[in-house]
Structures are given as structure tokens and as C-alpha cells.
Amino acid sequence: MSTDLKKGAWNVDEDQKLITYINRYGLSRSGKSCRLRWMNYLRPNVKKGNFSEEEEEIILVSHSELGNRWSAIAARLSGRSDNDVKNHWHSHLKKRASEQNLVSGATTKNNVNSLPTFETENIEDIQQPANHINDFLESHFSFEEHNFTSSCTPTTNDQQSEHISDYHDIGSPGTIDDLRYFWDQLCPLENLERINNHMDHVTSAHSFIDSNNYLGSYNFYNDNDYDSSILEAW
DNA sequence: AACCTTGGCAACCGCCTCCGG
DNA sequence: TCCGGAGGCGGTTGCCAAGGT
């Protein structure tokens, strides 16, 4: 939708226009229903018809990166709605993706929801292992901290996606051996999930409870491989 | 011809987030 | 700061046409 759409309170003139439209055409639809119809069918430049091979390829690759974030995937296509992409996936591409083994990474690779999670609501229950992690990290890695509420907090899902993608774009300063060592130390701790199938993608960002009981993320680097220019560029 | 199954698409539902008052 | 309404999103359902039995 166009970004220059007016927001805020309605004025009298706009109210009168809306009343006129409703009186004239007798439309008895909810706002949500109207929006859906507009977004999926009536808006300018909406593309209908068969998906091209190129579009399908974009969907397949995007889904392997983003998971079921249909609006983000649709944003990579010109004129396709999220609903169209979603329907096409379920009716055409899902089977093909599974055959090509493109599905599994979707929910664990770039999806922030797949980051290690804690199964408790009591912060004290995980404080001890969190401190252990901090000690371990500080003794073995050079790292800098990023709080989700500052540099790492996206304001929209799309920004979130872009941000996570940025992590991958700058590359992984640590080595696989570093990560393997790290996870070998980490995994005995309960409540933490090992994502060993996607180590190359979890190098830069993981969430932990820091010493101030704050949920943040660390970027950790092996001392020998640490390159300050990467952070400066970031 | 009648019924059943399947696939494709449009729309609805419910949850979450955002924003304005 | 809080609260309510609207928007955004993904999951799910419903409808209909086409094909099979």
C-alpha cells in the first residue's frame, strides 16, 4: 500500500464522503474485509494468474530463509499478495520444497523465534546458567553486546527480517570449531536448545539473559579471528 | 447421471502490534 | 502511562469447479 496514505483522525469532510459512499452503494462490509479485498484483488498493479518459474524460485528460496512470513516473501515479488503467495505455497510449492529439502531450515535459520528459548517464566531459574554462559564467553571470546531494545529491536517484521539478514551479510567472524566448542560447553545446560544443524547461521546473534537480568544478544568472536573492521562497518 | 474427492482460491478468524486519545 | 480501536499477519475454513469412480 502506498506510504503516503493519510493517517490520524478523520475530518468532517472525510466522514461525509464515507457516508455518501455507503449510502449510495450500500456496502455492508467490515473495514478488515474491505482491506483484504483491496489488498488481494482490487489495488492497482496487483498481479493475478499463474506464477512464473522465476517467482516460484523466489518463493522457494525466500521460504527457506524466512519461513512462513508470507508478507515478507510477497514483498520480494512484484504485485503478489501475501495471500496469493501463501495459497500458492500450500497448493503447489510445499511438496516441491520438501522434495528439494528446502523446508526444514525455514523455522530455525533466520527466524528469531527459533533462537534458544527458556521454558520458565521465573528469571531466577535461569540466572545461574546465564551467568555461567557469560563467564564462559568472557573467558574464551571477544564479544560485544547488543540489546534488543536498542540497536537490535526492529519496529516491524520487515525490519526485523532485514536486520537478521544483515547479520549474515557481514559474515561469521568465528570459526566452526569455535562454535562447536562453544556449544559443547553450552549444551549440558538445560533449557537451551542446540541448533547444530545451522551453526553457520547462529554465529553472530544469540539471546541470553545477561548479568542485569536483561534479555540481550551477544556477538562472539574467536580472538584470533576477530576483526574490528567488521564491527566498525556494522 | 449422481456422488465423491481433490485442488485452488477467496475470505474469515483470532492473535498481536501499533497508534492516537 | 493506560486503554481501546484499527491494522497487519498467519492459520484456517469454506466454496466451487474439475476430475474420477
* Pair A32, A143 in one domain: no
Q: Report whether A224 contacts A140 (CB < 8 A).
A: no
Query: A53 CA, B8 C1': separation in Å?
Result: 18
Q: Hey, is A163 helix, strand or coil?
A: helix
Query: A91 and A119 share a domain?
Result: no
Of A43, A34, A37, nearest to A83 by C-alpha is A37
**Cβ atoms of residues A73 and A62 within 8 Å:** yes
Least Cα distance to A114 among A204, A214, A192 occurs for A192
Number of domains in chain A: 3
The rounded distance, in Å, linking the Cα atoms of A139 and A123 is: 24
CATH number at residue A53: 1.10.10.60
Question: Whole domain around residue A13: which residue ranges?
Answer: 1-44
Measured in angstroms, what separates residue A90's CA from nucleotide B6's C1'? 14
Residues A135 and A217 in one domain: yes
Distance A92 CA to B7 C1' (A): 10
Q: Are residues A150 and A212 located together in one domain of the fold?
A: yes
Residue A55 and residue A147 share a domain = no
A158 touches strand C (CB under 7 A): yes
> Is residue A6 located within the same domain as residue A54?
no
> Cell 562454535 maps to which residue?
A179
* CA dihedral sign of residues A97, A103, A106, A107: positive
* Shared-domain flag, residues A124 and A223: yes
Tens of pLDDT, residues A78-110: 888 888 898 898 888 887 777 666 444 433 333
Residues A94 and A124 in one domain: no
Which segment of A120-129, A146-155, A207-216 scores lowest on mean pLDDT?
A146-155
Nucleotide minimizing C1' to CA distance for residue A32: C7
The pLDDT score that the predictor gives to residue A136 is: 41
Do A3 and A52 reside in the same domain of the chain? no
A181, amino acid identity: Y
User: Residues A177-186: pLDDT tens digits?
Assistant: 443 443 344 3
Q: Does residue A189 share a domain with residue A84?
A: no
Residue A4 shares a structural domain with residue A72: no
Tens digits of residue pLDDT in A4-57? 455 555 556 666 676 677 667 767 777 788 888 888 888 777 888 888 888 888
Quick check: helix, strand or coil at residue A97? helix
Same domain, A222 and A156: yes
- Bases of chain C below 7 A from a protein C-beta are 6-12
Domain final residue, candidates A64, A87, A107: A107
d(CA A123, CA A133): 15
Take residue A80 and report the three cell numbers written for it: 503478489
C-alpha cell at A132: 555461567
* Amino acid A223 CA to nucleotide B17 C1' distance, rounded Å: 40
What integer pLDDT is reported at residue A104 of this predicted model? 41
Nearest nt to A34, CA vs C1'?
B11
User: From CA A59, how far away is CA A50, in angstroms rounded?
Assistant: 14
